[in-house]
Amino acid sequence: MDDLHLYDRVADELRRDGPQAGLWAKAFAESEGEKSRAEALYLRLRVAQLAASELAVAESERAQREQLKREAAERLELERQARAKAEGLTPIHWLLIGLIVSFLILIAFRAVLGP
């Protein structure tokens, strides 16, 4: 993934607002007080934060899209069932009719052929 836009964003943040205090303190401590190393580490840490945030947003949007798809499919199924019910016989009705007809045919054959 191209993270150049994230470095641009961090550079803009630094120009506009300066570093985030807590993150700067962490970078400074981890670089043992060496300012240039702390600055480089701050950039990497902040870019990693932004990348994680973008990933979380993308995942959330994907989950929302999937949920919307599931809800749409459920609505379509409910509409199909309502339409089938309004039209009359549903698949379960046809199954029951088929079983009854089969049973009647069996009884008729037994009557014709004998016990």
In a domain, 98, yes or no: no
pLDDT at position 38 is 96
In a domain, 94, yes or no: no
In a domain, 24, yes or no: yes
Distances from the Cα of 69 to the Cαs of 60, 72, 83, in angstroms? 14, 5, 21
In a domain, 61, yes or no: yes
Do 10 and 50 touch, CB atoms closer than 8 A?
yes
Do 46 and 20 touch, CB atoms closer than 8 A?
yes
In a domain, 106, yes or no: no
In a domain, 12, yes or no: yes
pLDDT at position 86 is 80
Domain that holds residue 32: 4-89
In a domain, 97, yes or no: no
Number of domains in the chain: 1
In a domain, 115, yes or no: no
Residue type, position 58, single letter: A
Question: In order along the chain (115 residues), what is the average pLDDT of each group of 10 residues?
Answer: 90 96 96 96 97 96 96 94 79 88 90 78
pLDDT at position 112 is 85
